[in-house]
Amino acid sequence: MNCDKELDVCGLNCPLPILRTKKSLVDMTTGQVLKITATDPGSVIDFQVFADQTGNELLSLSEMAGEFIFYMRKR
């Protein structure tokens, strides 16, 4: 999947991945896609809740070798 910006929050635990994502989305325009790479297993639920609460669209979620990859479209 194509993305406009990438964010690596590997090694960070809640709430830092969400806070860094929120900060990254501020600099983006509506419709752009942010790719987030995280290692915190709790981030799976955190990003789903974050998307629901903010209106940003969680396009996909996958896991590979202990890393979680999220694609989020800015509202």
Which element (helix H / strand E) includes 33?
strand 33-38
3 is catalytic: no
**What's the burial of 59, exposed, middle or buried (CB within 10 Å: 0-12/13-18/19+)?**
middle
Please give the span between the terminal C-alpha atoms of the chain, in angstroms, as a whole number: 18
Selecting among 6, 13, 14, 60, the annotated active-site residue is 14
Tell me the catalytic residues: 14
